[in-house]
Amino acid sequence: MFVEVSNIRKSYGEGGSYVQVLKGVSVGVEKGDMCVIQGTSGSGKSTLLNCIGGLDEVDAGSIKIDGEEIVGLKGEKLSDYRRDALGFIFQFYNLVPNLTVRENIQVCEYLTKDALNMEELLDVLGLTEHQNKFPSQLSGGQQQRCAIARALIKNPKLLLCDEPTGALDSKTSRDILVLMERINKEYGTTMLIVTHNNSIKNMVDHVIYLKDGEISKNYRNEVKIPARELEDL
Amino acid sequence: MQKVLRKRVMRDLKANLFRYIALGLMIAMGIFLVVTIVGSGETLTKGTEDMAEETNLEDGEFEVFVPLSEKDVNKLADMGAEIEEQFYFDYVLDDADKSTVRIFRVRDKINRIRYIEGNEPADKTEIVIEKRYAEEHGLKTGDSFEVAGVTYRISGIGVVSDYDGPQKELTDTACNSKAFGPVFVTGEAYEAFRNSGKAQKSETYLYSYKLGKNLQNADLKKQLKDFTIDASEVDDPLFQEYWDRTGGVEEKLESAADDLLKATKDVRDGLKELSKHNAGINDAAESIFETYLAETNKALEDNGIHTELTEENYKKKLDELSESSDNAILQLTLGNTKLQLSELEKYKDGLADYTEGVDELYEGTDEMADGVSELDDAVTDALDEFDIKLSNMTMFLTREDNPRIFATKNDKLVDIEVGVVAGVILFILLAYVISVFVVHSIESESSIIGTLYSMGVTRNDLLTHYVTLPVVVTFIAGLAGALIASTGIMAPMIAESSYSYFSIPKFSFKIPGYLWVYSLAVPPIVAVIVNVLVIRSKLSRSALSLIRNESKQGGIKKVSLKGMSFVSAFRIRQMLRELRSTLAVVLGMFLALLIFMIGVDCFVLCDNIAKDYADDTKFEYMYTLKYPEEKVPEGAEAAYAYTCKKSAMGYNFDVTILGIDDYNPYFNVKPGDSKVDVVITSSFAEKFGLKKGEEFVVTDDEKEIKYAFSVKEITDYSTSFYIFMDIDVMRDMMGEADDYYNVLFTKKKLDIDPGRVYATTSRDDVVKGASVFSGLMMPMVFTLSFASILIFCVVMYLMVKVMIDRSAYNISLIKVFGYRRKEIRKLYLDGNFYIVAVGALICIPLSKTIMNSLFPFMISNVSCGLNVETPFWFYVITYVAILLLYLAINTVLVKRLNKFTPAEVLKNRE
């Protein structure tokens, strides 16, 4: 397994406000898979993603990425893990507003010696003509494409996507998903996608459902629907 | 709504406690420093003014050759002037410093003594010592003090307002209480001093005066000038010797002119008398001739010769009669008659010529008498012009022109000016820092404001809300600063230099009313103004725009950085994003440097004065003479000094026209022979802003004449405001004798009668005096330097912290991407290093240049040049110090980067 999550527990608060968000979750994801994590609000899907991304600490359990244990990593080692292995895509893009598209992508290009070709990536993502624009001058879809480019430039082993289409309209969402599908194929990037959208599960290899901090469903799709054919996005 | 918003105020305070504490500390410290510096200056100013009032400080003083007569005193009293004798003797003591004490009678009316300890002398065995002299010589009440072989008991230590600056001579550059101090004795003891004959020079007849209601200094001075005396009344033998050569010669000239006129008039009158008889003499001669001619005609008729002899024909007729006669006797008789008539005619004509000559002589003598009379008048006028009549007054000095009076107050004017300027600079900085905070606060709360807006909260409600906290903080900080300052905790340090230099009692530190208003009102007012301006501008956006927190990304922020490396581009973008904070850092540095440069200029000026005075003073002794000897003493260089006035920035300064020879070894000056084109000293040029080729005017108040000059050359000379002229040209211009001089410059001490000397200035005195200023200014220099460093650090820390705080989200974001601390520091903090490095490179010379232009106004009352030239190494050290300070602040702030976790991104997302 490329991603091995074993019996992780995570809670917030104390006393009356104590909430256990993840209650011994164990799950694995194959290398090169597109995996969707679904669940209702408060089910723990984003927390799981954050723990895998090293953004949040677990109370107990183990997370291995490509065989490397990441639980307990701190400081520079944790930074190195994120720098070497991960790419992040957020719902609200989180672009640096005072940097141009190209400069936003360079933020992550700077972190690796083996960066993908910037021009090619810009071309693939349809950003070549927008590369010198600032985020405020772009549409939502363009901004998300920029965020994807930023995440991909360092060719991460694992791409963590938190509601990547959550702020986009249906058409733009489809475009983004098509793009992600293409990247997965072209670069073999393993993707963990947290989403509310029920259609997206049909395009991925692996689907995980979380309910009240526990895995309620965990299956592989026998048949995947190409992103461009997805309905009700 | 205000109630709800008010709750947020406390929460905002808690959330940004450190920021507000730092801001409050900066304001409190600024107010504390301004109030301490200005308050200290005001305390000393007010204290000396109150003491002047209390001790009835003179309006002025004057010296006379001989004590005023009762009639003169009464005349002055009638004019409305109250005068009091302040006669004195100078005695040189046999102590280690060979100090001089000036013996006065205890004053009754004017310039009364204020006792620091003890009392007035009870009898002729007691003496009162001036405070600074007592301090320098370790004297206190009850000690013994010996003057002129007599031992006195010190009955008290005191100060007098007319020796606030206890300098021996009015021309001294500084006070030296080790070497000089006034002392006070009873009238009986004073008489004993008078009789001792051991004084350094003859008694000085000094009077102090107070002007009546409608009496002006000029009126009194005019009256005093009119009190003339007979030179013989002056019992100073040196004066008499001098008078014989100068004023006495002029008297003789006037007397000779009078004698000549009188003699000429006598001759004229004699001739007039003589010419009165001319007609009679001529008539008598004519009558004799006519009678003889008639007698001759009758004798001829009697001898039967019929002819008519006249004056015109007698020679011809007599010759014809002689030729026609054969009678030899007749011929002889006729010949004799002709001879006698001819002689008589000659006599008659001779007398006529004589009387005509007498008439002409009379007319000529009459004209001569008129001419001599004119000569006499001219001589009289000329001598009047040279004031041949000896005025009793030898010196007249108003309180304003007396450097001893209000010396402390004049010195403190600089402190007050500096304090006020530093305060203004501080508040400009404060305003900008507050504006940065407000903008940061509003931008970070943009969506909240938008939401409140959309719910109907008015802009005024929001304005009031956002203004409240800065106003409260600044008010409390101002109050705290003023309260701490009012304890006088640092005032003694600021004032100590004054107490250990000027002769003043210790005053309790008091903050004047206007400083309270300044401290309590100005910070909140600045906060209100800045907040209102910034908030109004920010709140002019629509509610939706605020909710979306749409930031305008325009203008310079959109600059293209294509081709630049990522790190450089990122830093520039970050700098442009934080332009306001970046500017605040640079402005803070600039204003802190500006305050620092006040201190630097004070220090450099004093230091340069000390060095330049030592370098420029080539003579060992300069004697200003009252009664110069006829011949210039061997080894001395004679000069002619004449003091005029020139005003600058509202103050009137003494400037000296100095007549010297071309080869005078003490000045590197060739004055030339022009009365107009002159060489001036660099200190003169600096103080009055003169350049080569410019014209200027100085005023001779004594003669009420203005002299216009043109700057031919400026010579490097710092110690005095000199206008150099050729001594002969100057003598001619001033109407002095060809050998006149009144100043001697020498390499060695002259054996000169002290009575001839008005003042002796040694090189040692000049150098020591110059170094005194450094000591006086040092507390303020340290205070300003400390304040500026503190301001720099606080502003730098606050602004860089604001920059980091504003970038918290982005820092968290790039942490998510895997950036390490070093890399984050490189992107977010190291860029500031270049800003500080480049900013300092610009701000250091700029602040120095600006302060150099402002500085003359701050020390406008100080009579010295303005050499604030600073060595290059100072700039290098300042630059390095700024970078080191920044790096220290940076090190502290790096820790702050660790506080931002990737979770920040998640919080914002959620």
Residue among B887, B879, B898 nearest B796 (CA): B887
> What is the DSSP code (8-state) at residue B753?
-
Q: Is A103 on the interface with B (CB under 8 A)?
A: yes
Q: Between chains, do A94 and B905 touch, taking CB under 8 Å as contact? A: yes
Burial level of B571, CB count in 10 A (0-12/13-18/19+)?
A: buried
Q: A55-69, B16-30, B565-579 — which one is most confidently predicted on average?
A: A55-69
Residue numbers in A near B906 (CB within 8 A): 46, 50, 55-56
The C-alpha atoms of residue B392 and residue B66 are separated, in whole angstroms, by: 7
Mean pLDDT comparison of B504-508, B661-665, B771-775, highest-scoring range? B504-508
Any chain B CB within 8 A of the CB of A167? no
The encoded tokens of residue A172 equal 């733009």
Residue B839 CA to residue B222 CA, distance in Å, equals: 61
Nearest to B434 by CA among B474, B465, B461: B474
Residue B720 phi, psi dihedral angles, 5° rounding: -145, 160
Q: Which residues of B touch A99 (CB under 8 A)?
A: 570, 573
Domain residue ranges in chain A: 3-227
Residue B554 pLDDT level (bands cut at 50, 70, 90): low
Q: CA-to-CA distance for B577 and B546, rounded, in angstroms? A: 18
Does residue B33 or residue A8 have the better pLDDT?
Answer: A8
Q: How far is CA A181 from the centre of its chain?
A: 13
CA nearest to B899 within chain A: A75
Torsion of CA B730, B733, B739, B745, to 10 degrees: -20
CB contact under 8 A, A111 and B817: yes
Residues of A in contact with B550 (CB under 8 A): 136
Q: How far apart are CA B311 and CA B383, in angstroms?
A: 61
CB A195 within 8 A of CB A166: yes
Closest in B577, B817, B909 to A82, CB measured: B817
> Given the structure tokens 């947290």, which residue do they identify?
A194
* More confidently predicted of A146 and B561: A146
pLDDT at B904: 65
B chain contacts of residue A70, beta-carbon cutoff 8 Å: none
Q: Do B813 and A94 touch (CB under 8 A)?
A: yes
Structure tokens at B411: 């010195």
pLDDT at position B144, please? 95
CA distance B132 to B376: 57
B711: β partners: B678
* B140 vs B120: CA distance, rounded Å: 14
* Residue B389, pLDDT score: 65
Strand partners, B689: none
Which of B550, B560, B573 faces A98 most closely, judged by CB atoms? B573
* pLDDT winner (highest mean) among B265-274, B735-744, B749-758, B842-851: B842-851
pLDDT at site B800: 83
Choose among B562, B816, B823: nearest Cβ to A88: B816
Contact present, B742 and B628 (Cβ < 8 Å): yes
Nearest 5°: phi and psi at B761? -115, 120
**N residues, chain A:** 233
**Residue in chain B nearest A108 by alpha carbon:** B817
Predicted pLDDT at B910: 39
Q: Which residues have C-beta within 8 Å of that of residue B904, sequence separation ≥ 6?
A: B808, B809, B811, B812
Instruction: Detail the DSSP E strand segments found in B370-505.
Output: 393-398
Strands B695-700 and A158-162: unpaired
Report the C-alpha gap between B533 and B537 in whole angstroms. 6
Length of chain B: 910
Q: With beta carbons under 8 A apart, name residues in chain B contacting A76.
A: 820-821
Q: How confident is the model at residue B186 (pLDDT cuts 50, 70, 90)?
A: very high
The answer, yes or no, to whether residue B909 has pLDDT greater than 50, is no
* Residue in B closest to A81 by C-alpha: B818
**B441-448 contacts: CB < 8 A, separation 24 or more?**
B441/B12, B441/B16, B441/B466, B442/B466, B442/B534, B442/B535, B442/B538, B442/B539, B443/B538, B443/B549, B443/B551, B443/B806, B444/B806, B446/B546, B446/B547, B446/B549, B447/B546, B447/B547, B447/B548, B447/B549
Task: Specify whether the CB–CB gap between B299 and B309 falls below 8 A.
Answer: no
- Which backbone phi and psi does B87 adopt, to 5 degrees? -60, 150
Which residues contact residue B410 at a Cβ distance below 8 angstroms, ignoring those fewer than 6 apart? B861, B862
Is A101:A132 a contact under the CB 8 Å cutoff? yes
Element (H or E) spanning B461, and its range? helix B459-486
B 783-822 → A contacts, CB under 8 A: 810, 813-821
Please state, for a pLDDT cut of 90, what percent of chain B lies above it.
Answer: 32
CB contact under 8 A, A107 and B573: no
pLDDT digits (tens, 9 = 90+) for B453-511: 777 778 788 888 888 888 888 899 999 999 999 988 888 887 887 888 899 999 999 89
Which structure tokens are listed for A75? 């400081």
Q: What pLDDT score does B385 carry?
A: 62
Euclidean distance between CA atoms B689 and B683, whole angstroms: 10
Residue B84 · residue B207 · CB < 8 Å: yes
B817 and A88: CB-CB below 8 Å? Answer: yes
By Cβ distance, the residue of A84, A106, A136 closest to B553 is A136
Q: Quick check: B697 pLDDT over 80? A: yes
Is the CB of B575 inside 8 Å of chain A's CB atoms? no
Closest alpha carbon to B489 in B27, B36, B46: B36
Tokens, residue B472: 């409260």
Cβ of A79 within 8 Å of Cβ of B570? The answer is no
B909 touches chain A (CB under 8 A): yes
Flag if B820 and A103 touch (Cβ within 8 Å): no
Q: Does the beta carbon of B558 lie under 8 angstroms from any beta carbon of chain A?
A: yes
- Interface test with chain A among B562, B817, B894, B908, by most A beta carbons within 10 Å: B817
User: Cα distance from B786 to chain A (closest Cα, Å)?
Assistant: 38
Give the whole-angstrom CA distance, residue B398 versus residue B208.
10
- A224–chain B nearest CA distance, Å: 30
Sequence-ordered list of residues with C-beta below 8 angstroms from that of B49, at least 6 positions apart, any chain: B406, B409
pLDDT band at B549 (very low <50, low <70, confident <90, very high): low
pLDDT tens per residue, range B207-253: 999 999 889 999 999 999 889 887 777 777 777 777 777 766 666 67
- CB of B508 less than 8 A from some CB of A: no
State whether residue A94 sits within 8 Å of chain B by CB: yes
Indicate the pLDDT class of residue B88, thresholds 50, 70 and 90: very high
A55 and B566: CB-CB below 8 Å? no
Residue in chain A lying closest to B827 (CA): A107
Tokens of B540: 């002019």
**Residues of chain B contacting residue A106, judged by C-beta atoms under 8 Å apart:** 566, 569-570
Do the Cβ atoms of A99 and B820 come within 8 Å? Answer: no
User: Does residue A192 contact residue A46 with C-beta atoms inside 8 Å?
Assistant: no
Spatial contact of B640 and B744, defined as CB atoms under 8 Å apart: no
Residue B433: CA count within 13 A, CB half-sphere: 32
On the CB side of A194, how many CA atoms lie within 13 Å of its CA?
24
Choose the closest CB to B820 out of A76, A88, A107: A76
What separation, in Å, do the N-terminal and C-terminal C-alpha atoms of chain A show?
30
| B267 or B133, greater pLDDT | B133
Please list every residue in chain A whose beta carbon sits closer than 8 Å to the beta carbon of residue B814: 107
Interatomic CA distance for residues B819 and A192, integer angstroms: 22
- How close A93 comes to chain B (CA, Å)? 10
- When CB atoms are compared, the residue of A83, A91, A99 closest to B818 is A83
A 10 A CB-CB count for A52 gives: 23
**B319: confidence class by pLDDT, cuts 50, 70, 90:** confident
Mean residue pLDDT across chain B: 86
DSSP secondary structure string for all residues of B346-400: HHHHHHHHHHHHHHHHHHHHHHHHHHHHHHHHHHHHHHHHTT-S-BSEEEEEETT
Alpha helices in B2-142 (DSSP H): 2-15, 17-54, 70-79, 131-136
pLDDT at B250: 65
CA distance B806 to chain A (A): 12
In this predicted structure, the answer to whether residue B201 has a pLDDT above a threshold of 80 is no
Concatenated DSSP letters for B689-739? T--TT-EEEEEETTTTEEEEEEEEEEE---S--EEEEEHHHHHHHHT--TT
Q: Is the pLDDT of residue B72 over 80?
A: yes
Spell out the per-residue pLDDT of chain A, length 233, in tens: 899 999 999 998 888 888 899 999 999 999 999 999 999 888 898 889 989 998 888 999 999 999 999 999 888 888 888 888 899 888 888 888 888 999 999 999 988 888 888 998 898 888 999 999 988 889 888 998 899 889 889 888 899 998 888 877 888 888 889 988 988 988 889 999 999 888 999 999 999 999 999 999 999 998 989 988 888 77
Mutate which: B565, B816, B899, vs A, most A CBs within 10 A = B816
Is the pLDDT reported for residue B640 higher than 80?
yes
> Contact at 8 Å (CB) between B355 and B347?
no
For B67-95, what is the mean pLDDT?
92
Three-state SS letters, B524-551: HHHHHHHHHHHHHHHCCCCHHHHHCCCC
- Helix, strand, coil % over all residues of chain B, rounded to 5: 60, 15, 25
| Percent share of chain B, pLDDT over 70 | 95
Q: Does A88 touch chain B (CB under 8 A)?
A: yes
CATH of domain A3-227: 3.40.50.300
State how far residue A221 is from chain B, nearest Cα, in angstroms: 30
Q: Counting one residue from A and one from B, how many pairs have CB atoms under 8 Å apart?
A: 79
Is the ipTM higher than 0.90? The answer is: no
Cα–Cα distance for residue pair B454/B348, rounded to 1 Å: 141
Cα gap B770→B614, rounded to integer Å: 8
B266-316 pLDDT, tens digit per residue, is 888 887 887 788 888 888 888 888 888 888 888 888 888 888 888 888 888
Give the ranges where B713-820 is alpha helix by DSSP (H). 727-734, 763-806, 808-816
The CA distance from B547 to the nearest CA of chain A, in Å, is 15
Structure confidence at residue B247 (pLDDT): 65
- Rounded Cα distance between A64 and B424, Å, is 62
H-assigned helices in B81-126:
none
B567 part of contact set with chain A, CB < 8 Å: yes
User: How many Cα atoms occupy the beta-carbon half-sphere of B661 within 13 Å?
Assistant: 13
In angstroms, the Cα distances linking B70 to B67, B191, B210, B808 are 9, 20, 18, 90
Distance from the A82 Cα atom to the nearest Cα atom in chain B, whole angstroms: 5
Does the distance separating the beta carbons of B815 and A97 come in below 8 Å? Answer: no
A4 backbone dihedrals φ, ψ, rounded to 5°: -125, 110
- The model's pLDDT over B895-904, given as tens digits with 9 standing for 90+, comes to 877 778 776 6
